[in-house]
Amino acid sequence: MNSVTAGLRSLPAVAALWLIACGGPQGNAPPVQSVVETLSSTDTQGYQRAMAPTPFAFPRDHGAHPGFKSEWWYFTGNLSTADERRFGFQFTLFRFAVAPEPPVSASAWATNQAYMAHFAVTDVDGDGFYHDERVARGALGLAGVDSAPFRAWLEDWRVTADGAEPARGCDGCLSLRVTAASDAAAIALSLTSTKPAVRHGDNGLSQKSATPGNASYYYSLTRMATTGTLRVGGETHVVSGLSWFDHEWSTSALEAGQTGWDWFSLQLSGAAELMLYRFRNRDAALAEFASGSYVDPDGGVTRLHPGDFAIEVLDAWTSPVSGVAYPAKWRIRVPRRALELEVTPRLPRQEMNTTFRYWEGSVSATGREAGRPVSGTGYVELTGYQ
């Protein structure tokens, strides 16, 4: 999931242009384009880079890192009602710096920080998918992220610390309230981490290509107990389930020849979690770049290298909106853990037709781990498909 960062660097320009040209997300035709089209600029001059592992300190590092070009706070989760009606949700806040330094101005509006938020609800059993997008400047309190107490917001879509104390000594743990509403859907959820923060890659430095600096800082809260309410179709449901929180920041660009990535986050029945990502190459000669983390029930993390796992595509689905074909079923093998899973979208149509187009959706998994049956739920992100 790390390298999305690189791709979205030139996004504010594109976003605002689309908003101007097309009348915004409320317009009739969703203003969409491929992520890869936005991956043009390689201007990293003046920004901070993810060159070496740095120890994260919480709560400070939950906050924004404005010196890096892009950053996001990503919440996804699978929820269900008492009578087993299933839902998925995604709430993401993106931050982009449009210039390395803030402008010199006495105005409270002046900023080099732009924010974008994506909010989606998947109504698995009602066969519904609702998504919305917002953009705002990181000034005047319109949008921003504070670390202590934690607060991430874009207008009235917000994630705030709910004041409850997470378990003692739980590194980076958070107890949060997530509220967002669009015309079609709304969530008001409480999320409490049950495991400490997982630093991916080399102690949080997540490399994306062989080029030094083409990396991000990346950690996750992989298991957050979730309760609250969710509204779709004018009906409000009391729900509970599990959520996943990603926080990633970087400056680097996508490597030439890389076309996109597949990213998996799975919460398994045995209280383990699995995060995997791989970059797809246009150029077959390019070494495949992939990485992952296996989190055991106690919070112990196993770093997974390219040779440690295999992802096989079993099925495909073509979006009727964009005509883009996406993989729609996978077999994942992690031989070191004797883990084999079949991952299936809980609903095929979870394509985000936002400023840039991608597929981000709720999935379920079944398979075996160390000979015993295992199941799970999670989220998959697919970018760069055309």
Q: For 38-146, where are the alpha helices, taking DSSP H only?
A: none
Q: Is the dihedral of CA 264, 268, 274, 278 positive or negative?
A: negative
Amino acid at 3: S
Residue 181 within binding range of other proteins, rule CB under 8 A: yes
CB of 146 to other proteins, least distance (A): 13
Tell me which of 136, 290, 304, 332 binds other proteins, using CB under 8 A: 136
- Shorter beta-carbon distance to other proteins: residue 179 or 302: 179
Cross-strand bridge partners of residue 235: 232
Q: Is 190 exposed, middle or buried (0-12, 13-18, 19+ CB in 10 A)?
A: middle
Nearest residue to 147 via CA among 40, 68, 270, 65? 65
Instruction: Determine the Cα–Cα distance for residues 239 and 231; give it in Å rounded to an integer.
Output: 10
* Cβ pair 217, 200 in contact under 8 A: no
CB of 314 to other proteins, least distance (A): 40
Amino acid at 9: R
- Shorter beta-carbon distance to other proteins: residue 121 or 363: 121
CB of 147 to other proteins, least distance (A): 19
Residues of this chain, 214-253, that bind other proteins according to CB under 8 A = none
Q: Is the dihedral of CA 195, 296, 94, 61 positive or negative?
A: positive
* Cβ pair 221, 257 in contact under 8 A: no
- Shorter beta-carbon distance to other proteins: residue 17 or 51: 17
- The piece of 8-16, 49-57, 218-226, 346-354 that touches other proteins (CB under 8 A) is 8-16
Q: Is 144 exposed, middle or buried (0-12, 13-18, 19+ CB in 10 A)?
A: buried
Amino acid at 105: S
Instruction: Determine the Cα–Cα distance for residues 87 and 135; give it in Å rounded to an integer.
Output: 25
- The piece of 14-22, 42-50, 76-84, 210-218 that touches other proteins (CB under 8 A) is 14-22
CB of 35 to other proteins, least distance (A): 17
- The piece of 69-77, 81-89, 138-146, 266-274 that touches other proteins (CB under 8 A) is 138-146
Residue with tokens 């970018």: 383
> What number of chain residues touch other proteins (CB under 8 A)?
38
CB of 94 to other proteins, least distance (A): 12
Other C-beta atoms lying within 10 Å of the C-beta of residue 105: 9
* Radius of gyration of the chain, Cα coordinates, nearest whole angstrom: 19
CB of 38 to other proteins, least distance (A): 12
CB of 134 to other proteins, least distance (A): 8
- The piece of 7-15, 242-250, 340-348, 354-362 that touches other proteins (CB under 8 A) is 7-15
Cross-strand bridge partners of residue 36: none
Binding mask 19-58 for other proteins (x = CB under 8 A): xxx-xxxxx-------------------------------
Token pair, residue 231, equals 């509204």
CB of 216 to other proteins, least distance (A): 22
- Shorter beta-carbon distance to other proteins: residue 135 or 242: 135
Instruction: Determine the Cα–Cα distance for residues 241 and 364; give it in Å rounded to an integer.
Output: 13
CB of 10 to other proteins, least distance (A): 8
- The piece of 117-125, 150-158, 216-224, 341-349 that touches other proteins (CB under 8 A) is 150-158
Tell me which of 33, 67, 142, 310 binds other proteins, using CB under 8 A: 142
- Shorter beta-carbon distance to other proteins: residue 137 or 195: 137
Residues of this chain, 94-123, that bind other proteins according to CB under 8 A = 98-99, 103-112, 114
Within 8 A by CB and 6+ apart from 322, the residues are 32, 351, 353, 357
- Residue 70's alpha-carbon distances to 49, 74, 116, 168, 280, in angstroms, are 11, 13, 11, 31, 21
- The piece of 135-143, 232-240, 263-271, 299-307 that touches other proteins (CB under 8 A) is 135-143
CB of 229 to other proteins, least distance (A): 17
Tell me which of 13, 188, 225, 271 binds other proteins, using CB under 8 A: 13
Give the interface with other proteins as residue ranges (CB under 8 A).
10, 12-13, 15-17, 19-21, 23-27, 98-99, 103-112, 114, 135-137, 139-142, 153, 155-156, 181
